[in-house]
Structure 1
Amino acid sequence: MVSFLASIRFAGDLPAWSVAILALLAVVGVVLLYARETRSIRAPYPYLLPALRGTAVALVVFILAGPVWHRRQVIGTLGRVVFAVDTSRSMSLTDSQSETTADNRLQRATASLLGNATEPGWLEQIQKTHAIDVIAFSNSDPVSIWSSDDEAELPTALDWAADGPATNLSRPLQSILSTINLDAATGDSSAGDSSAGDSSASDSSASDSAAGSSDDTIDSVRRAAIVLMTDGRDTDTAKRLERSPPSVAKQLAGGGTSVNTLGFGSVDEPPDVGIVEVIRPETVAAEGKLAGQVIVKQFGRQGEPVLVRIESDGESVWQKSISISNTGQQSVPFEIDVGQIVQTLRSRSPRGIHRTNEVLRLVAIVESNGPDYSADNNVSHFRVAASTRNRRLLIVDGSSRWETRYLKNLFVRDPAWQADVVLFGPGTSSPKLQRGSAPGQFPATADDMAQYDAVLLGEIDASQFTTGDRGLLSRFVAGGGGLVIIDGRFGKLRALAASEFGELMPVRYRGTGTTPMPSRLQATPAGLEQPALGLIDQTDQLDSFWRSLPAPKWSANVELSEGGEVWGETVSDRGTRTPWLATRMYGAGRVFYFASDQTWRWRYKVADRFHARFWNQLVVAAMEPPFSASDQYVSIGTDKVEYRGGESVAVRARLRDVRGNPVADATVDALVMRDGNKIATVPLSVDNPNRGTYAGQVPPLPGGEYSIRIRASGFDESALLASTPIWVTEDDHAEMQRMSLDEDALRQIASAGAGTYIHESDAERMLELLKPLSSGTVIETDTVLWQSYLWFWLIIALLTIEWWCRKRAGLV
């Protein structure tokens, strides 16, 4: 079977586009000069003569481009080979303890493909017999680096670098599965010249393979192979519902494409110390303490001392010397007093800008005196927002029950909160609900209520909670406030729910009394996704943790109302499930409802370990996120200060006029700045016109430091000074956590893909496996047109025809 492809190439010193411009100018000159002679002659000579002369002149000018006629002839059927090369950060390792310069893994993979001064590379050795593709991958979609289908010359260098933040071994296999063209069904000899993306050929190949219609078809299906060149570490922690590499390799093998793996690196883990992760809260009180853990990894360093420290602006704020106890990971807890750091940051804030939080820019560092294979994983930058504004909380209850007592102690003693407690009714010092602005009184006006961020509401007697009180609380929530309702055994909330107050609640009562005695608590799938319910750091164990918490002795008989969502439920011995923690949005605010009042039982033997963390996280979830910075006219904030790659940024802003009144009719944009340059403009939509607030989402950004400011119609940009910083991190600690070659993973992929695993030390065997894939060859020839007789005689022929036409037209 034979096929041909031909094309024109240019080998001159001048680029083809510049020669084309010169030729066009020459043709225009010929036409203008001929215009004086051809005005009075008959048709078609006024057009024919300039065309003949112009074409001849253009051919003469094109000699400067050095046109070459390239002819590619394919005899037989070419095998297809795809070299998929890992360009993640771990491929930058040299696998050498020597201080002298050594090639890293990616450089060694490149040398195999391109060769060196003494030996040809794989691409050169099989370019005449195989169709070749070279792709690069890390944790994103693979990138095509070079393809023989493009008829490009063999590269002398490959444009890639080992800088990918993680490795996803499924991505290149999935990409090849969806795009590779085997032309297996037809056995067409042009397979070697066709595009790798011809979906029709892929479909016919797959169908014929499945049918097994003929031996010729089966043989042709086997003419493709993939060579996965990597260290085998699959480190992409952001994987969603992706298939495993062996399962994709198995499907490729079923379609006739074998998957071979070429491993780079040493199977032995080198001696190394590094930071895997820094676990810490996103926010901390400005006068409080920042507590967290530094996860340190080590290999080959057992029993040696290691110094772990944290710096702020180049100064050490915490450090601890530890002794490596075992191979693997070790958690090092830390606690930092952030007060002095915040004071330093406050002194640097520009005048006219008020910040409700300061961003602590911290660096965790691990140091050791022993051998350390890679220093890239010894430093981890992280940020924490220190709130300079005490969050205000109002606790209201119609009795002094255990739940309220523990919550009162928790929030009153916490310096990050300013809690006001209003207790009335039987067993308290105030039998009636008092209203006013003094301590111990329920707010009497909307302005008094607006001083709070959230309200914890217990069992309130409907006869004491008037229509005005209920309306005041409803407007507070609708305007963005948080409300947490805690039910009780006395059933007083049933009467309150029968009024217009029931519109706030995410549940409605059914029947009378309580549900069967719960045997356990259980977080719902929706609840497990919420940070408020994250009471332990091991997310894979969170469901079983919630099941192990002490269950309440009773639970109100309720069901979910329209617009509500259940985050937690009680389960009885009979399997009866009842909402225990439900929530809903009401206007711009959020309402939580608890069907029992016994979370204080979680303190048994562990004190505040889980109880305090849960209530802090839940009340924060109920509150409207505070703005990070404000000036006279605008307040701006984001949901976080630090984002992972791929996360969008939620931006909120509030506009005020010169009198401090909300502005709800402006056109507002969020400007994303980097290094003083605007890189994106995101329109914000009105969130709450009564408060003059706007909201929007900034699409995922590349890694780096940014600031976000506001632009609004009717305001001079110089007047809107407030801005908030954010950071986007591309976490590469997982990539550098293990640095040895994972041969087991590569063997599994090769076995599933009907291929072979080979270590780089025996790489030449891979080439021997690839050669039998092809039963064809490519013959390429070049004809230098501008030096050929054909080009010369074509010019002479055009000029001769022009002379004869001039004579016929009477110009000679």
Structure 2
Amino acid sequence: MIDSLIAQMRFAGSLSLPVVVGIALVAVLAVLALYTRETKTLPQPYSFLLPALRATAVFLTVLILAGPVWHHRQVVGTLGRVVFAVDTSGSMALSDSQNSSDKDSRLQRASDLLLGTATTPGWLETISKTHSIDVVTFDQGSPTLLWSSDSETDRPATFQWSAEGKSTDLSAPLSSVLETINLSSDGSGQESTASDEENDSIRRAAVVLMTDGRDTSTGLQKGTSTAIAQRLSKLGTTVNTLGLGSADEPPGVGIVRVIRQETVAAEATLAGELLIKQYGVDGQPIRLRIESQGQTVWEESITMNQAGQQSIPFEIDIAKLVKTLEEQTPHGLRRLNEVLDFVAKVETDGNDVYVGDDARDFRVAAAKRNRRLLIVDSSSRWETRYLKNLFVRDPSWECDVVLFGPQTHHPTIERGDTPDTFPATDAGMGRYDAILMGEVDAGQFTEEDRLRIARFVASGGGLVIIDGRHGELRKLAETPLGEVFPVRYTGPAKESPMTLRPTTAGLEEPVLGLIDDNQQLNTLWKSLPKPHWTASVELAQGAETWVEAGDGEADSARKTPWLATRMYGAGRVFYLASDQSWRWRYKVADRFYGRFWNQLIQAVVQPPYSASDQFLAVGTDKIEYESGESVLLRARLRDTRGNPVTDSTVDALVVHQGNTIATVPMSLENVDRGTYTTMIPPLPDGDYSIRVRASGYDESALLADAPIRVRQTNHAEMDRVSLNEDSLRQIAEAGNGIYVHQSDAQSLIEYLKPLSSGTIIESDTVLWQSFYWFIPIILLLALEWWLRKRAGLV
């Protein structure tokens, strides 16, 4: 049975088709110019028909130089479909060999299997007559189709690809294939109800993942690849995996990541950790070093007797580094944050196969102005005590604590503009960056107190609300200040929630990043000590939940917001439905508790301006951005008297290596403060300086700028580079396929051959050597001769 018959014209001459067509057109124009001199006196249609016939015959004759060939492609039966999905992430550039004579990378080995070598035919050639073939590449984004046999193009002699992907998403090619299959299904996840003959091509299909099996993508839940593979198998498409690489981790050392705060006080000590890995160099000395401004600022030697990862703490006194940068600051420019660049390095005397992770650069903002935090509560709860200790002892914060109530030293609230009193004026409140408000006595808050807090948040301040069991915040929520809350109360307190579970939106936020392994983050949150109660609340309009408190693990379990947030004016508000995060300190002290609260407070406050001059202050929300992130830029304009300027046309200038590469308009944010803001679209990796141009100011007068860096900070792709056979076996088992190591790759192609019950028969008719081409030319010339005779020219 012939399923389809396709024919197309091809050209196989030594000259390319465009060149031959150009020559033919020149010949046609010459024929027309000469012929019309003879026929211009003839009546119509002879005057134009005779030149046209001769020109057409000449065109077809010259076209013989292109070697026209009529190609027939006949499909008999049903072809099996095979999708070869090739991993092009960074780890595929490794060779897995220390032998200088055998340095083919994993990607090159995949190419040799598909295209063949000088002595061995490739898979594409082997099954091209019996299968419909697609070759796609994937790494962290949507797969890219390189070649398809359905496109009727010749098999490529080589692939233009490189292993440069920043991470690997094994689910991406499977999802892409699933989408094409769903076009033929009813959308229910079940196989189509069409006839067996119509579904034959769907059932006889296979996906082949050619990869090292390391899934390093972020934001995806574990098991996604196996789940999609299982769905594909139910729809008749098997999922097979080909492992490229060695199951043994190559010997060497490397820096997995640098754990540190992004902002520290200029007089403080930068404390952090270097996460080091070593494989195959047990007992060898490992030298660690951190450099800044061309000098070594910290170093240490260690010995690791066991393969794996180890965290090494470090401390750096940054005061001298900040002073050096201050001396280099131009006159008239005041840096509010000095950006310090560091490079962490690791070396060993042992064998180090991959040196790409032997150095990690990072940067830190040294704040010259300490952030100010106001803690307000009506009782000295455990939560408040630990938060007070955490921030009062932190040199990067100035913390005032206002405790008032029956069991405190101050039964009633004290107001004033002195330390440890509740601000009595908007100016006093404006000195703070954020307010951390516990379960305050609503009766002692006057209407002016409540309005002052609301105005503080609306103008850009941060507010964190920590609920308590006495119901005082419920009363406060019934006042106009309740409009600031990101939640609304729905009922009595809920006892003993069984789970704390981050939402999908929450997992994407740095606030919840209590560990650096994104794959295990959800599991960690579920294992944290649970609060003994939570308030019963629901989200207010415009708010979102980052952590939920639930009655159980099941999706049907009742859930309420535990950590909710919203924007109010120019400020952000966080709400916690219980006051028992201090329980996270059990046996681990501030490991999770301190990190969570530092990250939460950093998220709620507006970032300070990076630099200022006489007229301008400018700053970004970060000093380092992930590739693909937009940049939030803030600026404040003043006139010569220091008054806000609100009628200027303001633009952000993105400067890279001394050249302005982008101009982005800024919009007025706050009339009273004279502040402007804009979002700069994602920038390519590199270092940039963001400057501001404003009408009414000479560019030389606006000196302040904000330095930023854009780069890929997720280095998980090269943390482990060995072949993950377990992962590939699980995917193949879920997809009802097989797993094969590259050493036994031939067995995979033998497994794929029976998928097809059809074949492709191809044939070529060489037109320029056959009567099919010359008969039209002869007929055109014969017709021309007959018409010439009728016109009296013969």
Q: State the 1:391 CA deviation.
A: 1.9
Cross-structure match for 2:554: none
Contact 1:521 1:547 in 2 (8 A): no
Q: State the 1:170 CA deviation.
A: 1.9
- The answer to whether structure 1 residue 746 and structure 2 residue 725 are counterparts is no
Question: Cα distance 1:695–1:37, how it changes in 2: closer, same or farther (>3 A)?
Answer: farther
- The answer to whether structure 1 residue 126 and structure 2 residue 107 are counterparts is no
SS class of match (2:718):
coil
- The answer to whether structure 1 residue 321 and structure 2 residue 301 are counterparts is yes
Structure 2 CA distance, aligned partners of 1:338 and 1:692? 34
**CA distances 1:326-374 after superposition (whole Å, capped 9, x unpaired):** 3322222222222223333344445554332233322222221112232
Cross-structure match for 1:284: 264
Amino acid at match of 1:257: T
Cross-structure match for 1:626: 608
SS class of match (1:71):
strand
SS class of match (1:155):
coil
Cross-structure match for 1:185: none
Structure 2 CA distance, aligned partners of 1:150 and 1:112? 21
**CA distances 1:726-773 after superposition (whole Å, capped 9, x unpaired):** 333335642233333233333333333333322222222223333333
- The answer to whether structure 1 residue 480 and structure 2 residue 460 are counterparts is yes
Contact 1:528 1:543 in 2 (8 A): no
Question: Cα distance 1:459–1:785, how it changes in 2: closer, same or farther (>3 A)?
Answer: closer
Cross-structure match for 1:98: 99
Question: Cα distance 1:33–1:638, how it changes in 2: closer, same or farther (>3 A)?
Answer: farther
Structure 2 CA distance, aligned partners of 1:331 and 1:203? 50
Q: State the 1:380 CA deviation.
A: 2.5
- The answer to whether structure 1 residue 380 and structure 2 residue 360 are counterparts is yes
Contact 2:377 2:402 in 1 (8 A): yes
Of the candidates 345, 348, 354, which is equivalent to residue 368 of structure 1?
348
| 1:33-48 aligned within 5 A | 41-48=42-49
Amino acid at match of 1:70: H
Cross-structure match for 1:59: 60
- The answer to whether structure 1 residue 110 and structure 2 residue 108 are counterparts is no
Structure 2 CA distance, aligned partners of 1:11 and 1:751? 46
**CA distances 1:681-712 after superposition (whole Å, capped 9, x unpaired):** 55554433333334444454554444444455
Contact 2:214 2:721 in 1 (8 A): no
Q: State the 1:499 CA deviation.
A: 6.6
Contact 1:567 1:581 in 2 (8 A): yes
- The answer to whether structure 1 residue 774 and structure 2 residue 756 are counterparts is yes
- The answer to whether structure 1 residue 737 and structure 2 residue 719 are counterparts is yes
Structure 2 CA distance, aligned partners of 1:653 and 1:615? 28
Structure 2 CA distance, aligned partners of 1:457 and 1:729? 37
Q: State the 1:32 CA deviation.
A: 5.5
Question: Cα distance 1:451–1:40, how it changes in 2: closer, same or farther (>3 A)?
Answer: farther
Cross-structure match for 2:86: 85
Structure 2 CA distance, aligned partners of 1:604 and 1:77? 64
Of the candidates 200, 224, 229, which is equivalent to residue 205 of structure 2?
224
Cross-structure match for 1:641: 623
Of the candidates 264, 272, 276, which is equivalent to residue 296 of structure 1?
276
Question: Cα distance 1:340–1:806, how it changes in 2: closer, same or farther (>3 A)?
Answer: farther
- The answer to whether structure 1 residue 246 and structure 2 residue 226 are counterparts is yes
Cross-structure match for 2:315: 335
Structure 1 CA distance, aligned partners of 2:760 and 2:486? 72
SS class of match (1:749):
helix
SS class of match (2:113):
helix
Question: Cα distance 1:559–1:146, how it changes in 2: closer, same or farther (>3 A)?
Answer: closer
Contact 2:90 2:163 in 1 (8 A): yes
Contact 2:606 2:621 in 1 (8 A): no
Q: State the 1:110 CA deviation.
A: 1.5
Question: Cα distance 1:641–1:23, how it changes in 2: closer, same or farther (>3 A)?
Answer: farther
Contact 2:70 2:764 in 1 (8 A): yes
- The answer to whether structure 1 residue 256 and structure 2 residue 236 are counterparts is yes
Cross-structure match for 2:136: 135
Q: State the 1:670 CA deviation.
A: 4.4
Amino acid at match of 1:230: T
Of the candidates 226, 235, 238, which is equivalent to residue 215 of structure 2?
235
Structure 1 CA distance, aligned partners of 2:596 and 2:5? 72
Q: State the 1:602 CA deviation.
A: 8.1
Structure 2 CA distance, aligned partners of 1:26 and 1:350? 71
Contact 1:459 1:493 in 2 (8 A): yes
Amino acid at match of 2:91: S
Structure 1 CA distance, aligned partners of 2:208 and 2:558? 55
Cross-structure match for 1:272: 252
Amino acid at match of 2:131: H
Gaps of 5+ in 1: 181-198
Amino acid at match of 2:622: K
- The answer to whether structure 1 residue 805 and structure 2 residue 787 are counterparts is yes
Structure 2 CA distance, aligned partners of 1:175 and 1:293? 40
Amino acid at match of 1:384: V
Contact 2:96 2:245 in 1 (8 A): yes
Q: Which one is further off, 362-371 or 624-633?
A: 624-633
**CA distances 1:540-569 after superposition (whole Å, capped 9, x unpaired):** 3553565357x69xx999998776777789
SS class of match (2:240):
strand
Cross-structure match for 2:156: 155
- The answer to whether structure 1 residue 359 and structure 2 residue 347 are counterparts is no
Question: Cα distance 1:23–1:325, how it changes in 2: closer, same or farther (>3 A)?
Answer: same
Structure 1 CA distance, aligned partners of 2:187 and 2:572? 56
Q: Which one is further off, 164-173 or 421-430?
A: 421-430
Question: Cα distance 1:234–1:697, how it changes in 2: closer, same or farther (>3 A)?
Answer: farther
SS class of match (2:529):
helix
Question: Cα distance 1:177–1:623, how it changes in 2: closer, same or farther (>3 A)?
Answer: closer
Structure 2 CA distance, aligned partners of 1:453 and 1:732? 30
Q: Which one is further off, 692-701 or 404-413?
A: 404-413
Gaps of 5+ in 2: 552-556
Q: State the 1:238 CA deviation.
A: 1.1
Contact 1:534 1:542 in 2 (8 A): no
Contact 2:190 2:235 in 1 (8 A): no
**CA distances 1:378-404 after superposition (whole Å, capped 9, x unpaired):** 222333322233223456789999987
Contact 2:500 2:550 in 1 (8 A): no
Structure 2 CA distance, aligned partners of 1:243 and 1:143? 23
SS class of match (1:381):
strand
Contact 1:88 1:165 in 2 (8 A): yes
Question: Cα distance 1:245–1:484, how it changes in 2: closer, same or farther (>3 A)?
Answer: closer
Question: Cα distance 1:524–1:715, how it changes in 2: closer, same or farther (>3 A)?
Answer: farther
Structure 2 CA distance, aligned partners of 1:569 and 1:109? 45
Amino acid at match of 1:139: Q
Contact 1:631 1:720 in 2 (8 A): yes
Contact 2:514 2:521 in 1 (8 A): no
Q: Which one is further off, 794-803 or 524-533?
A: 524-533
| 1:435-446 aligned within 5 A | 435=416, 446=426
Structure 1 CA distance, aligned partners of 2:576 and 2:728? 51
Amino acid at match of 1:177: L
Amino acid at match of 1:745: S
- The answer to whether structure 1 residue 15 and structure 2 residue 16 are counterparts is yes
Amino acid at match of 1:110: S
Of the candidates 369, 372, 379, which is equivalent to residue 389 of structure 1?
369
| 1:198-213 aligned within 5 A | 202-203=184-185, 210-211=192-193
Cross-structure match for 1:191: none
Q: State the 1:94 CA deviation.
A: 1.8
Q: Which one is further off, 536-545 or 424-433?
A: 424-433
Q: State the 1:156 CA deviation.
A: 1.9
**CA distances 1:572-630 after superposition (whole Å, capped 9, x unpaired):** 9xx99999877654322234567898988988987766776565444433322222234
Cross-structure match for 1:192: none
| 1:509-528 aligned within 5 A | 525=502
Number of residue pairs the alignment of both structures matches = 782
